[in-house]
A and B are shown apart, each in its own frame.
Chain A
Amino acid sequence: MEPILELKNVSKIFGAGTAHEVPAVRDVSLQVMPGDSVGIVGESGCGKSTVARMVTKLTDITSGEIWFDGENITRIGEKETRNVYRKIQMVFQDPYSVFSPRMQVGTFLEEGLVHFGICSRPEARKQAAEWMERVELSPELMERLPHQLSGGQLQRVVIARAISIRPKLIILDEATSALDVSVQKQVLKLLVRLQKELNLTYLFIGHDLAVVRSLCERIAVMYAGQIVEVFDSEDLGHNTGHPYTQKLLGSVFSIHDRNQKEIQLETLSMEDSGYEKQGCVYQKRCPHATEKCRTEQPVMEACGTPHRIACWHPLCGGHHH
């Protein structure tokens, strides 16, 4: 089977060619199969959102290639971009910022349907109402303005709009991070249900490993602009080997681990953030770092499918050494 989305050595350097180059994404390769749900997880600033924005053409790509649905979409014009949006939709983190404050919620839903030529205006109104029900919202809310709805309700509308276009890929960029924990759970359940019903493909960007794991079958861990490990979400914990994955796992909160787990505090300075000239990106924070880690950059290597890891000293009884 052909992957629906493939990133080939994609990099993004902000301010390329100036004195203040910021390498946000470096040499990222990733495949998403149709019907899959892939998660990208990592801390703030690791470049995961930039990956999402490059796929949706909201941010230019510095080098590498992005293939979508058998086409190279790395550098395409405005018209082609619009065609791509028919097939890729994105859900942003903060639902409040997504709505024009002067546009009715229902109009927002209809717009996508009408502009992509999915149906006529009167039909769009009907379909929009159906989608409202599908995401467990009352169609009466369609006449409201965005500020009259709650964050959770708005995010459902955004999801409904993204899915109503019937795209081949939906990118969820921290789609539940701005919501209350209880609402977050409801929205996640909704996403899982919709994926089953409609056979959707998700690329979920998140910082919370537990959330990403609950939704995704495959997880890519990003650190300092690079993917350091890719694995099946079932393998998380017992068959994952990167020290950073371990670290993320250790920082997942749970109500059961009160007093049992010490919260590890770390002070990070700019030099520790992983933008190393040579060696492993994680060397400064890694408890297992050796001389090799400081001089040689670990390459992404397969250790089982789809498990791949970039580490000289993986914790899962690995293959390197």
Chain B
Amino acid sequence: MPREENSRVHLAGEEEKMKSTVKKALHNPQFVLLLILAVILILIPVFAPWIAPHDPIENDYANTMISGSREYLFGTDQIGRCILSRLIWGGRTSLLIVFVVVAIVSVIGIVLGVTAGFTGGWVDMLITRFTDIVMAVPSTVFIIALVSVLGPSLRHTVLAMSLVGWTENCRVTRALVMSAKENRFVEEARLGGLSRGQVIHRVIMPNVIPYLIVNITQDIGSTLLTLSGLSLLGLSSQPPTPEWGFMLSEGRKFIQSAPWLIIYPGLVIVLHVIVFNLLGDTLRDILDPRYEKPKKKWREIKKWAQEN
């Protein structure tokens, strides 16, 4: 059998599977709602120049520290910058950093995790020990130290967060691969004529990837929180570039007189964290092959509501 034939077969099977998963996902109202929300949250900063009512770094000295007006919906800060516009533009910095960090961290973690989990032996030992060492260093302290030494800038923040952030991904991936590897169906697949490489990507990975997707989605929330913490300490973006965490940091000084300076950025961060975490949760339910459509449940709830 020529190799092309194999890969074609493989693709056909894969497409089939994808179709049914997508179908299942689109029938889940909770997932659809969260997905739409997440897409909107990502698109807002992308289209910031068209959406934002004002220039985010323009000062309006006639209107400083107002709590909200027709012109400045979410109010202005101490030097008269529009909070809403800064929040919209701020997403560019915050979300970009978050996505870059999550991408780097996932790739490093998954590659190391799969290698360790599948190879075993001294390779596994080496990777695991290295992970342990990195984990033993308190990550926040490490990031603060590194950024302080290199000088605060977005690039250095990304570097520092990536250097310590991959450990969790690596450990989770390793554990998932190891437990998937122990399955009978891996042995059965070998008996079924699959080579070692095919076993990894045909049998092990399909049983690992769903959990990784969930993990990555939830990473978005936690990375955003870490980033906000760093910004609060003044260790990421530098003024006047708008960034949510940094906005919190600036607004902190006026917490008594102008609480909206921290309320709105705070709410935005919370909203993002919640949406991406819930999205991860819902994804986990959908990607579980034993998961059934929630339709029935809905019907039951409706019925119950009508009866009472």
With A100-B203, A100-B207: A121-B192 Cβ-Cβ less than 8 Å: no
Q: State how many angstroms separate the Cβ of A304 from the closest Cβ of chain B.
A: 36
Q: A14 at interface (Cβ–Cβ under 8 A)? A: no
Residue interface mask A70-106, B partner, CB < 8 A = 1 = 0000000010011001100110101001111111100
What is the bound-complex CA distance between A82 and B1, given in angstroms? 14
Number of A-B residue pairs having CB atoms within 8 Å of each other in the complex = 76
What is the bound-complex CA distance between A145 and B289, given in angstroms? 8
Do A115 and B194 touch (CB < 8 A)?
yes
- Which B residues between 176 and 230 are near A, CB-CB below 8 angstroms? 183-185, 187-196, 198, 203, 206-207
Do A121 and B5 touch (CB < 8 A)?
yes
Do A85 and B193 touch (CB < 8 A)?
yes
With A97-B183, A99-B185, A114-B5: A121-B12 Cβ-Cβ less than 8 Å: yes
Q: B299 at interface (Cβ–Cβ under 8 A)? A: no
Contact partners of B8 in chain A: CB under 8 A: 121
Closest to A99 in B: B185
Tally B residues with Cβ within 8 Å of A: 28
With A100-B207, A114-B6, A121-B8: A86-B17 Cβ-Cβ less than 8 Å: no
Q: A237 at interface (Cβ–Cβ under 8 A)? A: no
What is the bound-complex CA distance between A145 and B290, given in angstroms? 9
**Which of A92, A102, A108, A161 has a CB less than 8 Å from the CB of B17?**
A102
**Which of B184, B189, B195, B289 has a CB less than 8 Å from the CB of A94?**
B184
Do A58 and B187 touch (CB < 8 A)?
yes
Do B9 and A121 touch (CB < 8 A)?
yes
What is the bound-complex CA distance between A165 and B188, given in angstroms? 13
Do B193 and A115 touch (CB < 8 A)?
yes
- Which B residues between 1 and 27 are near A, CB-CB below 8 angstroms? 1, 5-6, 8-9, 12-13, 16-17
Do B191 and A90 touch (CB < 8 A)?
yes
Contact partners of A82 in chain B: CB under 8 A: 193, 195
With A82-B195, A112-B192: A117-B185 Cβ-Cβ less than 8 Å: no
Q: State how many angstroms separate the Cβ of B187 from the closest Cβ of chain A.
A: 5
With A78-B196, A114-B6, A121-B8: A97-B184 Cβ-Cβ less than 8 Å: yes
Q: State how many angstroms separate the Cβ of B230 from the closest Cβ of chain A.
A: 39
Between A and B, 22 residue pairs with Cβ closer than 8 Å are A78-B195, A85-B192, A92-B188, A98-B184, A98-B188, A99-B188, A100-B185, A100-B203, A101-B207, A101-B289, A102-B207, A103-B206, A104-B16, A107-B13, A108-B192, A111-B193, A114-B9, A115-B192, A115-B193, A115-B194, A145-B289, A147-B290
Interfacial residues, chain A to chain B (CB-CB below 8 A): 56, 58, 78, 81-82, 85-86, 89-90, 92, 94, 97-104, 107-108, 110-112, 114-117, 120-121, 145, 147, 158, 161, 165
Q: A100-B183, A103-B206, A111-B192 are in contact. List 14 more A-B contacts (CB 8 A).
A: A78-B195, A82-B193, A85-B193, A90-B191, A94-B184, A97-B183, A97-B184, A110-B9, A111-B194, A114-B5, A114-B6, A115-B1, A116-B1, A121-B8
Interfacial residues, chain B to chain A (CB-CB below 8 A): 1, 5-6, 8-9, 12-13, 16-17, 183-185, 187-196, 198, 203, 206-207, 289-290
